[in-house]
Amino acid sequence: MPQCSFHPGVETEMRCAECDRPICPKDMVLTPVGYKCPVCAKPKRSQYTYVKPKQLVGAIGAGALAGVAGGFLLGMIHLGFFLISIVWGMAVGEAVRRGSGGHRGPVLAVVAAVCIVIGSLVGQLGLLAAVLGSLGAVSTLSWTWSR
């Protein structure tokens, strides 16, 4: 008999309707398509990709601050332009993530990108810095999208 994936040593005939791993009655979660394991029963898109308005406000505030302050600073130093633009973008992405309470996703990536574009205008960094910065921010905010 197969053993429960969540409780080693517990034998079971039940399987998750989605991933087919063995589950014991303790783990079964009833869904419209049958019993599932606790992992598959969770909503597919992480709750962290759904952003509440209040969290969005926090994200925009943090992103705007990091974007404008960073853009201003970058405009003043002119050092290691390409690399710093990406690092700046990642920092803005991280600020947006923290400002929103740890969220990621397309909405926040757009917020970060807009903040970077504004920041690059403030610092007169040019299009290339805006693009590189946006890439950095999007990479920071996007790695869990596909889960």
Return residues touching Zn ion (CB under 5 A). Answer: 4, 6-7, 16, 18-19, 24, 26-27, 37, 40
We find the least distance from the C-beta atom of residue 129 to Zn ion, in angstroms, to be: 45
The minimum distance between CB 5 and Zn ion, in angstroms, equals: 7
Non-local CB neighbours of 83 within 8 Å, separated by 6+ positions: none
* Cβ distance to Zn ion smaller for residue 30 or 76: 30
**Residue 24 or 131 having the CB closest to Zn ion:** 24
81-99 helix and 127-142 helix, angle to the nearest 10 degrees:
40
Q: What's the min distance (Å) between Cβ of 141 and Zn ion?
A: 28
Q: Indicate the angle between helix axes 53-77 and 81-99, nearest 10 degrees.
A: 160
Q: How far is the CB of 104 from Zn ion (least distance, A)?
A: 24
Where do runs of H (alpha helix) occur along the chain?
38-41, 53-77, 81-99, 106-122, 127-142
| 39 vs 135, beta carbon nearer Zn ion | 39
**Residues 6 or more apart from 25 whose CB is under 8 A from it?**
12, 14
Nearer to Zn ion, 15 or 98 (CB): 15
